[in-house]
Structure 1
Amino acid sequence: MLAFIGGTGLTRIDGLVIHQRHALETRFGAPSAPVVEGELNGAPVLFLARHGDPHTRLPHQVNYRANLLALKEAGASAIVAVNAVGGITAATGSLVIPDQIIDYTWGRHSTFFDGADDPLVHVDFSWPFDRALRDRLRIAVEAAKAPWQDGGCYAATQGPRLETAAEIQRLEQDGNSIVGMTGMPEAVLARELGLPYAMLSLVVNPAAGKADREITMAEIEQVLHDGMAGVRRALAALAANQPSP
């Protein structure tokens, strides 16, 4: 079953017909919110609000292991994660389907296999986002008729503060095009669980030093409002065109 993880601006999905809420408890604790099972465009889907519903958890406080394991236990077979990001080279208001990620976070639980009795596991993470799922997501974004960018590198920073202009300059020199705080360890945990994973990132503001004036929260909220409409259309299109089991 296709699963969606919603970030800032997407704690719920319009048009989702809810059948059941799974209040799961995993061996790593409880996820941020119950896993919602329902139908979107007539197709079965799962949904989880990454930061809780309502939004209460900062990026470094999210129990990513519990979130991913809860989705797996609820029947997820693939995951599309939505995030609000800053644009380093990507334009504000556009949707980005990244194909690479660089992890700048620290202190987060980034593996399921760090217990004393767990096996020693190293997963191949050369290409962190599933190619086939990205192909389907591209078609869905095209159908949503939203401005978008195919490919790009997501810089995962620790937060919760935003970056300095100097840090953004370094991230750009490293080859990043967008910056967010939730991409890792979410992506690698999905890989450890064998779940195809792709991102749909909405650029809500220019990154630090990339605008010639101060960006206000009102402007960001407006971009979130307008851009998430395109995200919802894309998710609905993706759900309606799931491959046969």
Structure 2
Amino acid sequence: MAHTQSAACCNTPAVISKGYKEKGDYITVDATYADTTGPSSASQGILVIYDIFGFFPQTRQGADILAHSDKEHQYQIFMPDFFDGKPADISWYPPDTEEKGKKLGEFFQTAAAPPKTIERVKKVMNELQSKNPNVKSWGVLGYCWGGKIVNLVSQAGTPFKAAASCHPAMVDPKDAPNITIPILSIPSKDEDKSAMDQYEAALKVPNKVEWYHDQIHGFMAARSDLEDDKVKAAYEKAYQTVLGWFHQHL
């Protein structure tokens, strides 16, 4: 594993803390906008499921890191807009007032309802597989809420070969026995340790859990303060871990 991680991560670019400009293009998938990045010749693809705040420079930079850093295993990355231009407002988090809590709760029950998203993932993947026959194996990566979706779409009949879940929301040990592909979890200090430990113990597939006890929920995505050197270092290291995981399992 040490060799594959080294091979995967030796070309990781310097992370830009402010004013990041994404490298990708824009396409339509399942009648919604999607970011895509990475060489069209790549034979491996990764579906990225963002957090409830939608497209953010930190998340887009992460997609570019995954697409371009591993010279041995390059990836086409696809990040659809599952919220159709209406993500949650980042000012609602943390939900430290009754109003914020109400708005977040409503969002999770409507736009971000997991059953609705699972069906959407199926449609998105059917279209992506049809339009990209050169992609022979697919991975899936999710942040926060997207991490929950990853757990639910990594079960029997999944189109994915490997999965990664970054600071996953709504961790449920009952999801673990149903997962059928190798899965990486990167929890932060804000995740429930008891639930995460029970979840890890119940997994029946190759897995890895790498804690970031000094980082907040969202440090690899929309809530990442990349102007903070410690956060930036953690962000870089965590993306290297994700790269190593997909390098090994895709």
TM-score (normalizing by structure 1): 0.35
Structure having the higher strand fraction is 1
Structure having the higher helix fraction is 2
By relative contact order (CA 8 Å, sep 6+), the higher-ranking structure is 1
TM-score (normalizing by structure 2): 0.34
